[in-house]
């Protein structure tokens, strides 16, 4: 490739320097302003809102844990279980009283000895290890944990989010008597979300490790929404979901707006508290001013580079065209034919695709030049080249081989090459090449054909086609001959 001129290289160099300096200056100014504004959000507004709501949530969650701990330590429960659960109504009344005093939506006790599920409304069922709905009990029993808190919609047909706290009940020897539990809703917490959102101008969500929204402002209901499917949030969800240590702030864009997100993991519920804040308008203005300035500089510089590239490409195409195209006839030259032959050989070796070479010579071309002049001779060559182009297929190749000779690479066997040769010969004879000074001019061509065979070089095939051409001339010209011994296919 031709090297760029010194002037062009200097223009490109200066353009790059100016662009770098402009982007660096504006980028530093933008980063400083952006960092100051985001620092206010990161270290004051978002953390204050997140931590305040987190403390509210912790206080609310301590209530069921304290209540179920008291049940687990209650000697009345121990004595009743150890006595063989003779009066089952006693436990039901106990659970009902607990539910009435605490305001929980559900209180229950599962006996290890009998498998009965006592509820404040009565005996619900007998647990079985084969029942998938009872798997929670056996999983918790074998975990060895003293208590566990879980967010679920179990027992809530309306989709209300409930927090269930399970606690092991053991006797003095550490033997398992059963599992006590209470259930509460997050409705109160969810209603507080709206107040916080209004006060701080943020959006607050409770999200499970799988990304499902468990509560939003004012509903307290489990939704089918997954933040991995929400525009913008899906780009950052995998950065904190399933993680216990998360970054202070995440940023994402959706709908042309930019948002900041702070996250805190709530281990008791195994969920995440998300506080989302739209970026300040001041930051948006700074960003757009930076983008406008940068866009203007890029447009101007791209115009300069574009003009240079277009000019270089134009002249490079001219050079490339001159390197492979015959200037007079527009057919390929020997260099172009060498490339076509190499590709045809590759297809032959890979796919067994046959091809033939067809050499055609304008009969008595020297006499045409001597009698009618070189201008008329050039007109004849142009006409022959045009007929050849029209007579071959798209995947065949045409090149001017010498002064009055053309060579055609025909994909296919001898029969295909013969058909092309006869078509060219007939059309050359029918064409009118006459000028005012060359009336009665008659042009004929002779053709020689040879097929490529494994192990042949280009010179081998050309030599056989050239020998066939000599036979055509010896036979009186204006005819087509095939090299002896060629396969008839």
Token duo for residue 454: 């494994």
Token duo for residue 129: 């290890």
Task: State the Cα–Cα distance between residues 118 and 127, nearest whole angstrom.
Answer: 11
HSE, CB side, 13 Å, CA atoms: give it for residue 152: 13
Token duo for residue 433: 């090449």
Spot the catalytic one: 216, 326, 396, 404. 404
Which of 325, 327, 330, 332 has the alpha carbon at shortest distance from 398?
332
CB-neighbour burial class of residue 49 (10 A; exposed 0-12, middle 13-18, buried 19+): buried
Which of 108, 125, 113, 118 has the alpha carbon at shortest distance from 83?
113
Token duo for residue 116: 């009965």
404 catalytic, yes or no?
yes
Residues in contact with 286: Cβ distance below 8 Å, sequence separation at least 6, in sequence order: 30, 33, 34, 37
The total of other beta-carbon atoms located within 10 Å of residue 274's CB is 23
Token duo for residue 323: 């390197």
Token duo for residue 208: 């499970």
Which of 69, 90, 68 has the alpha carbon at shortest distance from 79?
90
Residues in the chain, how many?
Answer: 489
Active site residues: 404
């Amino acid at each position: 490739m031709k090297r760029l001129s010194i002037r062009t290289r200097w223009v490109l160099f200066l353009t790059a320097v100016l662009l770098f300096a402009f982007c660096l200056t504006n980028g530093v100014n933008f980063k400083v302003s952006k960092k100051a504004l985001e620092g206010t959000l990161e270290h004051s507004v978002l953390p204050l809102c997140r931590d305040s709501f987190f403390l509210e949530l912790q206080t609310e969650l301590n209530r069921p844990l304290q209540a179920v701990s008291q049940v687990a330590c209650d000697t009345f429960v121990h004595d009743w279980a150890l006595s063989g659960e003779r009066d089952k109504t006693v436990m039901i009344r106990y659970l009902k009283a607990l539910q009435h005093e605490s305001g929980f939506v559900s209180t229950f006790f599962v006996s290890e000895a009998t498998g009965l599920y006592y509820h404040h409304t009565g005996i619900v069922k007998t647990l079985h290890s084969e029942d998938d709905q009872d798997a929670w009990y056996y999983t918790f029993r074998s975990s060895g944990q003293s208590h566990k808190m879980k967010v679920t919609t179990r027992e809530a047909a309306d989709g209300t989010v409930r927090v269930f706290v399970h606690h092991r009940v053991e006797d003095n020897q550490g033997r398992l008597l059963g599992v006590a539990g209470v259930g509460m809703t997050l409705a109160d917490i969810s209603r507080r979300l709206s107040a916080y959102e209004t006060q701080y101008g943020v959006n607050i969500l409770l999200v499970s490790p799988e990304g499902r929204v468990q509560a939003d402002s004012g509903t307290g209901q489990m939704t089918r929404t997954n933040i991995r499917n929400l525009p913008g949030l899906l780009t950052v969800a995998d950065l904190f979901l399933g993680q216990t240590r998360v970054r202070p702030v995440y940023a994402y864009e959706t709908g042309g707006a930019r948002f900041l997100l702070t996250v805190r993991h709530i281990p008791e519920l195994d969920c995440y508290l998300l506080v989302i804040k739209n970026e300040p308008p001041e930051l948006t203005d700074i960003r757009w001013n930076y983008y406008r300035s940068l866009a203007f500089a890029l447009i101007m510089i791209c115009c300069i580079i574009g003009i240079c590239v277009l000019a270089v490409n134009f002249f490079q195409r001219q050079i490339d065209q001159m390197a492979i195209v015959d200037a007079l006839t527009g057919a390929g030259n020997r260099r172009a034919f060498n490339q076509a032959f190499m590709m045809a050989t590759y297809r032959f070796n890979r796919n067994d695709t046959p091809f033939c070479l067809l050499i055609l010579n304008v009969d008595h071309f020297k006499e045409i030049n001597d009698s009618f002049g070189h201008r008329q001779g050039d007109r004849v060559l142009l006409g022959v080249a045009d007929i050849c182009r029209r007579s071959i297929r798209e995947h065949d190749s045409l090149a001017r081989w010498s002064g009055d000779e053309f060579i055609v690479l025909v994909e296919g066997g001898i029969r295909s090459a013969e058909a092309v040769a006869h078509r060219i010969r007939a059309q050359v004879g029918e064409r009118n090449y006459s000028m005012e000074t060359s009336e009665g001019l008659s042009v004929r061509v002779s053709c020689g054909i040879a097929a490529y065979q494994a192990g042949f070089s280009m010179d081998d095939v050309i030599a056989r086609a050239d020998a066939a051409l000599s036979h055509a001339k010896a036979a009186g010209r204006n005819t087509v001959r095939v090299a002896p011994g060629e396969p008839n296919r």
